[in-house]
Structure 1
């Protein structure tokens, strides 16, 4: 998840073979897909906390890594697990 000013963007990064750790595969073959992060889309990370982190360190930009666990629920397709 990338935060620029007050805007928040998210991309899913996946390997074509479905490997758990995409960093070990062919970086040129990775698949990038935007994620709908509208506030009404289920269990998204709390934007106030992301902005609070950046504000605390006087940063205008930051990237936060999350693992996404599929839930099988179309209304809330992922459980977000904070990594760093």
Structure 2
């Protein structure tokens, strides 16, 4: 029986693959994707999650924005890696 999973991420390059792998794994029942500000701003990470699920044909998985910044430190997006 597939394990129900809610994937919480800040989709940059690495989390894009995590989304695709989770959605394609028959042992995972991907119930939702939540996004946070981390390696990118919340608006960017949420947009990225929507784009990559659309590109992969992943449907029926709600995407919801979560925290815009870390709880215990300042948000420092990795713009030098992921772009502005």
TM-score, with structure 2 as normaliser: 0.27
- Structure (1 or 2) with the greater strand fraction: 1
Bigger Rg, structure 1 or 2: 1
- Structure (1 or 2) with the greater helix fraction: 2
